[in-house]
């Protein structure tokens, strides 16, 4: 019998002062059986940090032709393709040719990932931001994660301040770029 996804629900008070986005977000994130908690938590953080009209979780791991998250125009065009984890260079190359903006949020220390991509051919590689967070931040979030979660996320000066289950966490949003070819 195939394993099924586990659904996590989030009610998030978002105050992203860097972008001027203030919203109450209610969303559900299905955690695929092959997905780690760190990966799922990173998907939720990416969703919040990219939050705007048209954003949604895609089928993600269930469909190799879709990103983890995307932002679509009302006419159906994909405006932003948001990858999570360590996507293959070929996947980034293809996506970069299809969309206006491509961004990656990695849930592991980025050094190995950046080294893997260094010599690969990726369309517009130098304009693709790759974001990471402190590993301890993921671990702490994972410890407090429940099936129903209430979070308060504030973003200021590229720093996340998170309140979850009475605990206060903080991490910088580290941005990395690949060198131009």
Pairing type for strands 69-72 and 6-16 reads unpaired
Burial tier of 152 (Cβ tally within 10 Å: 0-12, 13-18, 19+): middle
pLDDT at 1: 54
Whole-model pTM? 0.94
| Domain of residue 172, CATH code | 3.10.640.10
Domain count, the chain: 1
Q: Is residue 181 part of a domain?
A: no
pLDDT at 153: 98
Q: Is residue 1 part of a domain?
A: no
What are the helix (H) ranges across 13-88?
37-49
pLDDT at 3: 73
What domain range is 69 assigned to?
7-176
Phi and psi at residue 54, to the nearest 5°: 90, 0
- Find all residues with CB under 8 Å of 90, minimum gap 6, and list them: 120
Q: Is residue 78 part of a domain?
A: yes
Residue 116, H or E segment:
helix 110-117
pLDDT at 62: 55
Q: Is residue 111 part of a domain?
A: yes
pLDDT at 35: 87
**Token pair of 89, please?**
């260079």
Q: Which residues pair with 6 in a beta bridge?
A: 31
Query: Along the chain (181 residues), what's the average pLDDT of each consecutive run of 10 residues?
Result: 83 98 95 89 96 89 79 94 95 94 95 92 94 92 94 98 95 93 73
């Amino acid at each position: 019998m195939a394993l099924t996804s586990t659904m996590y629900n989030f009610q998030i008070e978002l105050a992203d002062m860097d972008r001027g986005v203030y919203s109450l977000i209610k969303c559900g994130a299905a955690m695929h059986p092959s997905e780690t908690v760190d990966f799922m938590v990173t998907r939720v953080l990416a969703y919040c940090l990219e939050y705007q009209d048209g954003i949604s979780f895609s089928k993600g791991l269930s469909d190799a032709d879709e990103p983890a998250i995307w932002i679509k125009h009302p006419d159906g065009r994909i405006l932003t393709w948001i990858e999570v984890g360590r996507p293959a260079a070929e996947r980034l190359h293809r996506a970069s040719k299809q969309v206006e903006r491509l961004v990656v949020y990695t849930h592991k220390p980025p050094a190995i990932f950046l080294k893997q991509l260094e010599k690969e051919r990726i369309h517009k590689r130098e304009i693709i931001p790759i974001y990471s967070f402190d590993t301890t931040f993921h671990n702490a979030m994972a410890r407090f994660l429940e099936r129903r979660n209430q979070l308060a996320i504030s973003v200021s000066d590229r720093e996340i301040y998170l309140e979850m289950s009475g605990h206060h966490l903080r991490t910088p949003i580290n941005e990395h770029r690949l060198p131009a070819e």
